[in-house]
Structure 1
Amino acid sequence: MRILYVCQRVPYPPNKGEKLRSFHQIEYLLEQGHSIDVFMPEHSGKDKAHIEQLRSQGVNQTFSGELGQPYLSFAKALCSGRSLSEAKFYRTELQNLFDNVLEQNEYDALVLCASSLARYVFASVHYERLQKTTLLFMDFMDVDSDKWRQYAAQSAWPMRWVYHREAEKVACLEQVVVEKFTQCFLISDKEVQLLQDTLSKVNATPQSQAVHSEQKIHTLGNGIDTKIFTPKPDINADCQHFLFVGVMDYKPNVDAMLWFCEYIWPSILQHNPQAELTIAGMSPTSKILELGKQRSIHVTGLVDDIVPYFHRADVFVAPFQIARGVQNKILQAMACGLPVITSELGLEGITAAEGTELIVANSATEYKQALSQLAQPDVRAAIGKSASARIHAEYSWAGKLSLLEALLQQTDTVTATCIRAEQDKECA
């Protein structure tokens, strides 16, 4: 099949959440023998070099244009009733490029990596043709409308109003996408159920259509490249090095570290003055940089290779107060044989035995209990070994993405039959 993959960002290098997911989906589809073109906005000057590297991975063609600053687009979105998420990734120049790509190329399927990109399809001059001849797959990843609801619940005015508005607008967009697209994916069973619940609350579709919508919402989980994320070579006698990784201007990551450093870190230092916390990830905010002024806390910014940080650490902490979907960082830590302490929110979509493959802690008291347990080297070693075994057994990318190939083939057959019947005036 010939497939156009539409991304929010250049999916190279595969060094964070959505880019990892997009890159491995593209890689998998190429391995299945499909011809893949990629359409994406450019966010920085480095993206042109990254696009060249993406082509070297086997991608057929790439189409891109500069995204620029979103401020004017945000203002237009507020006036027009659209979500800010759409405005962030939409430009008229990119729409023209998108339409030109569809004019010059015929695709069997379009795969979009976020609901914020749906406007390119809906606003296209070729939309009517796409509906009739092309499979439209949406990878929601997470239920973004619920993330904005969580933000609203934890924010004061005026951001509470902004987040509440965004939750409503994105929920409506999610509903339209489910109605109009051929198949939709989310990262976990819990996200699938959450989207179905959200759609029922919006309740703008007839009951029969809502039932039909549920039949095309699927779980498409994340995998881990176990050739890159390998078990750490040894277990240190002392539990001194703690680690968190993530994009550090992303609110759930920022909130997690601010909470941990306020409520947990002082207690750790009281018992172990030599302890060190590393916060590794690009774009740290001013509040995160302020944490790095403490002698015991290291804020790295962007790193070229995260694996050495996993191998140096004794414990990976993921104390999420807000979260949506599967946390790749936790899967990576587990693959490296690193014991993980996370909240219930961090555990979403991850199959792991609590207590033997990772530890769940939701309060400061529970964290302190978990850290006391992990002070023993043999406990850390046992949990890390079990975690790594779990990842190897259940989290290969090929296994997780087999559903994508199956639905492409299955849906393509059904669609082709309907198109032929329609041409014969037999398909309603």
Structure 2
Amino acid sequence: MNIVVLSHRLPFPPNKGEKIRTYNQLEHLRKQGCTVTIFCTIDSEEELALARQYENESGFKVETVSSGLKKPAMLIGLLSGRALTVSNFYNRTLQTRFNAFIQHNEVDAIYCTSSAMAEYLFKGDSTVTQKVADRRDLIDFMDLDSDKWRQYREVSSFPMSLVYRYEESTLTQYESRIQQRFDECIFISSNEVELFNMKLNDQPANLKVIGNGVDVKAFHPPDRPRKKDQLSLLFSGVMDYLPNENAMRWFVDNVWPELTETYPQVKLVIAGMNPSQSIINMADDERITVTGYVDDMLACYHEATVFIAPFQIARGVQNKILQAFSCGLPVVTTEVGAEGIECSDGTHYLKATTQQEFVRQIGKLHDDPRCYSRIAANALELVNDKFSWEASNEELYELFKQPLAG
């Protein structure tokens, strides 16, 4: 099977949420003997070198072009009424190369890794824009992006709230257009599909759920028991990403003062690349460590005793929570943090909403060894039973193989 992938980011190395998902999906296609050609933009010479490394390691062909000047492109998109997200990932040179490849090669399927990449089908020549009888066109929305911008708007002040409102509105219309054009529209959880159904006021048959998995070989419990007499909190993620940054600002501003008063020995590690200045400033408190990029995230999961995910805004499935589950590390998170994962409060994690609840639930794990062990064991069992990359990737492969309707 000859598959063309339009990827909004180079899926290598798999060091952040959406890249982890796409990387594992493409690995499965490789193991099935598929021929894969990836089209994506890159931002630096370093990323170009990574693309060549990925080609050598995977056997895929990776067609890259420089992403160029994104701000002028986004301004032009804004003036034309196009979503900023779409303008950000659209590149005319990449479009030309993609068109030429489709014209001169027999392609069994086109796979877009985000809603923004649908633009290359909408703006392509006739061999691209039209549905073809012997080609499947699939798109992985992952999350419903328009609702993410709604959440951003609700936690932002003017003028950014106005920008986010624009993005929410334009993407809502764009997502509906995508649903009508593609053979299959894939989401990371049933929550996302239900939300899209509500927006469409319909239940189209081409909306499918394919969940994330966890690499249980890469994320596993430590060989030695954790030092549960210590209280070491961990949060991980790309730390200039608004939902992550917002979560930690809320936690440090609202929960940390009471938590440190109740548990003076508590430590907090914020692990992940690209920390913003507001995150870096948190390390002024000697009990808080901001690591920046981490080569070995597994070590962070092993050294921690509790994983916190105090999300105020979130969409989809949080890989970081699944990774904590897989490492046998108990999680305290909000309802939106656990949303999309089929897990239960009090069984697989402890839910907290207010600052008092976070202090109480963290304290419960620290003070009650039985509760700690039960939550950790249940979460680990859940991951092993329901979050296999092999199972979810096979579901995707079956969608590629399905005959076209009509």
With the length of structure 1 as denominator, give the TM-score of the two structures.
Answer: 0.91
Q: 1:273 to 1:128 in 2, by over 3 A?
A: closer
| Structure 2 Cα separation of the partners of residues 332 and 128 of structure 1 | 39
- In the alignment, what sits opposite 1:203? none
* Deviation of the 1:153 alpha carbon: 1.7
- Residue identity matched to 1:224: V
User: Aligned AA for 2:166?
Assistant: R
**How far did residue 128 of structure 1 move?**
4.2
> In 2, are the aligned partners of 1:152 and 1:164 still within 8 Å (CA)?
yes
- Code of the residue aligned with 2:63 in structure 1: it is F
Residue 368, structure 1, aligned to residue 369, structure 2: no
State the partner residue of 1:356.
Answer: 347
Alpha-carbon contact 1:232-1:338 (below 8 Å) kept: no
- Secondary structure (helix, strand or coil) at the match of 2:353 reads coil
CA separation in 1, counterparts of 2:130 and 2:144? 28
- For the 8 Å contact 2:230–2:265, the answer to whether it is kept is no
Cα shift at 1:44:
2.5
Supply the distance in 1 between the matched residues of 2:9 and 2:59 (Cα, whole angstroms): 15
Q: Is the 8 A contact 1:38 1:59 kept in 2?
A: no
Give the 5 Å matches for 1:262-411.
262-376=253-367, 377-410=369-402
- Cα deviations by residue, 1:182-231 (Å, 9 ceiling, x for unpaired): 1000000010010111122xxxxxxxxx55xx100011100000010011
For residue 309 of structure 1, report the CA deviation from its aligned partner: 0.4
Indicate conservation of the 8 Å contact 1:2/1:107, yes or no: yes
Task: Kindly report which structure 2 residues correspond to 1:193-232, keeping only aligned pairs within 5 A, or say none.
Answer: 193-200=194-201, 210=202, 214-232=204-222
Stretch deviating more after TM superposition (179-188 or 236-245): 236-245
Distance 1:222 1:316 in 2: 19
Query: After the TM superposition, which residues 156-175 of structure 1 pair with which residues of structure 2 at under 5 Å, given as runs?
Result: 156-175=157-176
Counterpart of 1:66 in structure 2 is 66
2:70 is aligned with 1:80: no
Using a 3 Å threshold, how does the CA distance of structure 1 residues 393 and 222 change in structure 2: closer, same or farther? Answer: same
Greater Cα offset, 125-134 or 301-310: 125-134
User: Which residue is equivalent to 1:426?
Assistant: none
Aligned to 1:422: none
Aligned partner of residue 333 in structure 1, secondary structure: helix
Tell me the CA shift for residue 330 of structure 1. Answer: 0.2
- Secondary structure in structure 1 of the residue aligned to 2:250: helix
Confirm or deny that 1:188 pairs with 2:178.
no
Distance 1:137 1:414 in 2: 12
Give the equivalent residue in structure 2 for 1:39: 39
- The 8 Å contact of residues 37 and 59 in structure 1, kept in 2 or not, is answered as no
Deviation at 1:403, TM superposition (A): 1.8
Q: Which amino acid aligns with 1:178?
A: Q
Counterparts in 2 of 1:59 and 1:199: CA distance versus 1, 3 Å:
farther
CA contact (8 A) 2:134 2:404 kept: no
Segment of structure 1 superposing worse, 62-71 or 49-58: 49-58
The DSSP-based 3-state class of the residue aligned with 1:289 is helix
Range moving further from structure 2, 279-288 or 267-276 = 267-276
Asked whether 1:414 is paired with 2:404, we answer yes
Structure 2 unaligned residues grouped into runs of 5+: none
> What is the match of residue 248 of structure 1?
239
CA contact (8 A) 1:8 1:89 kept: yes
After superposition, give the CA deviation of every residue in 1:382-408 in whole Å (9 maximum; x if it has no partner).
321221111111111011222212222
Counterpart contact for 2:226–2:302, Cα < 8 Å: no
Structure 1 residue 39: Cα displacement = 1.1
- Counterparts of 2:3 and 2:264, CA distance in 1: 55
Structure 2 match to 1:178: 179
Contact 1:171–1:199, Cα closer than 8 Å, also in 2: no
- The amino acid across from 1:396 in the alignment is S
- Taking the aligned partners of 1:351 and 1:57, their CA distance within structure 2 comes to 34
In 2, Cα distance between equivalents of 1:246 and 1:165: 27
1:90 maps to 90
TM-score (norm 2): 0.96
How far is 1:60 from its partner?
2.8
Compute the RMSD of aligned alpha carbons.
Answer: 1.5
Q: How far off is 1:132 after superposition?
A: 4.1
Equivalent position SS for 1:46: helix
Question: 2-side partners of 1:56 and 1:94: how far apart?
Answer: 21
Q: Which secondary structure does the structure 1 equivalent of 2:377 belong to?
A: helix
- Taking the aligned partners of 1:129 and 1:161, their CA distance within structure 2 comes to 35
CA–CA distance in 1 between the matches of 2:105 and 2:353?
Answer: 51
Return the offset for 1:258.
0.3
Equivalent in the alignment of 1:18: 18
Structure 2 CA distance for aligned equivalents of residues 373 and 403 of structure 1: 39
Is residue 261 from structure 1 mapped to residue 252 from structure 2 by the alignment? yes
Structure 1 CA distance for aligned equivalents of residues 237 and 391 of structure 2: 25
Structure 1 segments of 4 or more deviating over 3 A?
Answer: 128-133
Q: Deviation at 1:129?
A: 5.1
Shift of 1:137: 0.2
How far residue 272 of structure 1 moved from its aligned partner, in angstroms, is 2.6
